[in-house]
């Protein structure tokens, strides 16, 4: 199958604006405004403003519009998961990526070959989005945010148990969980609910809009109250969610003895947790860890793997060792929002 990758590379190319499908004349997650963009999900390093036309799941279209208003794109075209669309000379469909609500892999077929662009993905269960679908292909373009063997994420339920144990241990303190507004905040809420925590949760104003959108799109989050409405005393023993930066700014002074909690795949790296002033580090990732990345590369049975977005070298080395052709794409402008 050595001719396959060369063939796909003739119609799927890396340009200064990102990955470009020449046979369909569109970009995937372009790093700057383009005439026609297919967007895998709503994180800022994938969904940029100013495109003329955007094709994405209905959820991603709604998230982009909530975040950017009319700047999201001149025309927003929703495509349901699994529905196939003809664009130019290619057929395209979106398959769930399991990363955040609305997240999708882009499946493109042309000239008898299939390429899959994973976008950000994970294989773990997540109550806030549709689970990852494995799509076999000739060329698999994978993310690699946690593409090193040291990254092995523990089960999310165990991390949530550690949070609840700490809340019990320090009833006079307020647990301040740093979460990104899209995906992580709602997942932490949903995991707490799944663990049986049905007390109100308190949110920073910056999280309100997307939490409300998730609920409108059918993801139940239980009682969420604005921190702004509460007295300091009333927040003792409570769990507050806020953007990670809020722990270190004036805003946090309204909280009683806040205990800073980190919730990200990076929390497995002790130096990172320390550097962010985190007292309780929860390893909660919305990205595939090393085992999920390598398992997926094996299971898609692609002849070639293109690695983007993170620690590319180790994954390229893994794929090469497995007898596959592999290359690092080094796309510009990815900064891991919501890891
Ligand atoms: Zn993402
Ligand atoms: Zn990303």
What is the predicted pLDDT for the residue at 3? 55
What mean pLDDT is reported for the chain?
95
At 1 the pLDDT is 45
Contact 275, 211 (CB under 8 A): no
Residue 211 structural domain: 156-282
User: Residues whose CB is under 5 A from ligand 1 (ion)?
Assistant: 43, 120
With respect to residue 49, please indicate whether it lies within any of the assigned structural domains: yes
| 333 in any annotated domain | no
Rounded to the nearest whole angstrom, what is the distance from the C-alpha of residue 289 to the centroid of ligand 2?
14
Indicate if 99 and 226 belong to the same structural domain.
no
Same-domain check for residues 173 and 264: yes
H-only helix segments in 86-204: 156-169, 184-194
Q: Clarify whether residues 266 and 224 are in a common domain.
A: yes
The predicted pLDDT at position 243 comes to 96
170 and 116 in one domain? no
Per-residue pLDDT tens over the stretch 284-296: 999 999 999 999 9
Query: Residue 240 belongs to a domain with what CATH number?
Result: 3.40.50.10890
Indicate which ligand has the atom closest to the C-alpha of 104.
1
Query: Structurally, how many domains does the chain consist of?
Result: 2
Same-domain check for residues 142 and 169: no
Q: What is the pLDDT of residue 336?
A: 60
Ligand 2 midpoint to CA 205 (Å): 24
Q: 197 in a domain, yes or no?
A: yes
Q: Which ligand is nearest to the CA of 121?
A: 1
Upper half-sphere CA count for residue 37 (Cβ side, 13 Å): 29
Q: Specify whether the CB–CB gap between 137 and 107 falls below 8 A.
A: yes
Å from CA of 336 to ligand 1 middle: 6
Intervals of the chain under pLDDT 50: 1-2
Confidence at residue 93, expressed as pLDDT on a 0 to 100 scale: 98
Q: Are residues 14 and 134 in the same domain?
A: yes
CA of 318 to the centre of ligand 1 (A): 23
Say if CB 142 and CB 293 are below 8 A apart: yes
Q: pLDDT digits over 132-146, tens only? A: 999 999 999 999 999
CA of 335 to the centre of ligand 1 (A): 9
pLDDT tens-digit map of 79-128: 999 999 999 999 999 999 999 999 999 999 999 999 999 999 999 999 99
253 with 131, same domain: the answer is no
Q: 306 near 142, Cβ under 8 Å?
A: yes
202 and 302 co-located in one domain? no
Q: What is the pLDDT of residue 219?
A: 98
CA of 38 to the centre of ligand 2 (A): 14
Distance 45 CA to ligand 2 centre (A): 6
Dist. CA 236 → ligand 2 center (Å): 35
Q: φ, ψ for residue 299 (rounded to 5)?
A: -75, -30
Between the CA of 180 and the centroid of ligand 1 the distance, in Å, is 11
Q: Which ligand is nearest to the CA of 335?
A: 2
Q: Is residue 337 part of a domain?
A: no
* Same domain, residue pair 90 and 41: yes
> Strands, E, within 88-227: which ranges?
90-96, 104-110, 113-117, 139-144, 174-178, 201-203, 224-226
Q: Ligand 1 mean position to 44 CA, how many Å? A: 8
Residue 109 Cα to ligand 1 midpoint, Å, equals 24
> How many A from CA of 120 to the centre of ligand 2?
5
Q: Are residues 17 and 130 in the same domain?
A: yes
The verdict on residue 294 lying in a domain is yes
CATH number, position 61: 3.60.15.10
Rg of the chain in Å (alpha carbons): 20
Q: Which of 280, 248, 250 is nearest to 264 (CA)?
A: 280
In the chain, DSSP finds a helix count (H) and a strand count (E) of 8, 19
Q: How far is the CA of 207 from the centre of ligand 1 (A)?
A: 16
Q: What is the DSSP string of 289-319?
A: -HHHHHHHHHHHT-SEEEEEEE-HHHHHHHH
């Amino acid at each position: 199958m050595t001719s396959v990758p060369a063939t796909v590379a003739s119609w799927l190319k890396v340009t200064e604006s990102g990955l470009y499908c020449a046979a369909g004349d569109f970009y995937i997650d372009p790093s700057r405004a383009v005439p026609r963009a297919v967007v895998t999900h709503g994180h800022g390093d994938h969904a940029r403003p100013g495109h003329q036309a955007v094709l994405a799941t209905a959820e991603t279209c709604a998230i982009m519009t909530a975040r950017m208003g009319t700047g999201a794109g001149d025309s927003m075209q929703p495509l349901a998961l699994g529905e196939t669309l003809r664009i130019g000379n290619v057929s395209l469909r979106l398959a769930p990526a399991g990363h955040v609500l609305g997240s999708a892999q882009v499946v493109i077929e042309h000239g008898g070959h299939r390429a899959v662009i994973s976008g950000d993905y994970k294989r773990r269960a997540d109550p806030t989005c549709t689970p990852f679908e494995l799509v076999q292909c000739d060329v698999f373009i994978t993310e690699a945010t946690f593409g090193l063997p040291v990254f092995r994420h523990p089960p999310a339920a165990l991390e949530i148990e550690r949070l609840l144990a700490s809340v019990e241990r320090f009833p006079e303190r307020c647990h301040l969980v740093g979460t990104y507004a899209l995906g992580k905040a709602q997942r932490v809420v949903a995991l707490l609910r799944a663990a049986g925590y049905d007390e109100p949760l308190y949110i920073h104003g910056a999280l309100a809009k997307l939490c409300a959108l998730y609920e409108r799109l059918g993801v139940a989050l239980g009682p969420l109250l604005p921190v702004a409405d509460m007295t300091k005393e009333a927040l003792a023993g409570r769990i507050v969610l806020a953007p990670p930066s809020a722990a270190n700014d004036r805003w946090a002074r309204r909280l009683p003895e806040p205990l800073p909690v980190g919730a990200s795949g990076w929390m497995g790296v002790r130096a990172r947790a320390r550097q962010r002033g985190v007292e309780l580090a929860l390893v909660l990732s919305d990205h595939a860890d090393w085992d999920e990345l390598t398992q997926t590369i094996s299971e898609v049975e692609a002849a070639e793997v293109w690695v983007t977005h993170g620690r590319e070298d180790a994954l390229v080395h893994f794929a090469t060792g497995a007898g596959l052709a592999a290359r690092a794409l080094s796309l510009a402008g990815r900064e891991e929002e919501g890891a």
